[in-house]
Amino acid sequence: MVKNFTTAAIVFGTDKSETEEYQFFEKASKPKSVYRIKLINKQRQVAYSKIITVSPAS
């Protein structure tokens, strides 16, 4: 099954040598949303995270 992803946000990294944490918040507009992270390093190599499904808290 092919999923069509759209950009939800763009978060820029830093040049710090220690581990960084990033957060993204979005108001739930559907009963279930599917996400993955597209990572692009300084050499412009692309990698994708695993796909996760998120449901709003009830």
pLDDT given at position 47: 93
pLDDT by residue (tens digit) across 2-49? 678 888 888 887 777 778 788 888 877 788 888 898 988 888 899 999
Phi/psi at 48 (5° precision): -120, 145
In a domain, 20, yes or no: no
Q: What is the DSSP string of the chain?
A: ----------------SS-----------SS-EEE--EEE-TT--EEEPPPEEE----
DSSP β-ladder status, 52-54 and 38-40: unpaired
What is the amino acid identity at position 22?
Answer: Y
Q: Identify the band that residue 50 occupies on the pLDDT scale cut at 50, 70 and 90.
A: very high
* Count of structural domains, the chain: 1
pLDDT given at position 46: 92
In a domain, 50, yes or no: yes
Q: Which domain holds residue 57?
A: 1-13+26-58
In a domain, 18, yes or no: no
In a domain, 19, yes or no: no
pLDDT given at position 10: 85
pLDDT given at position 58: 65
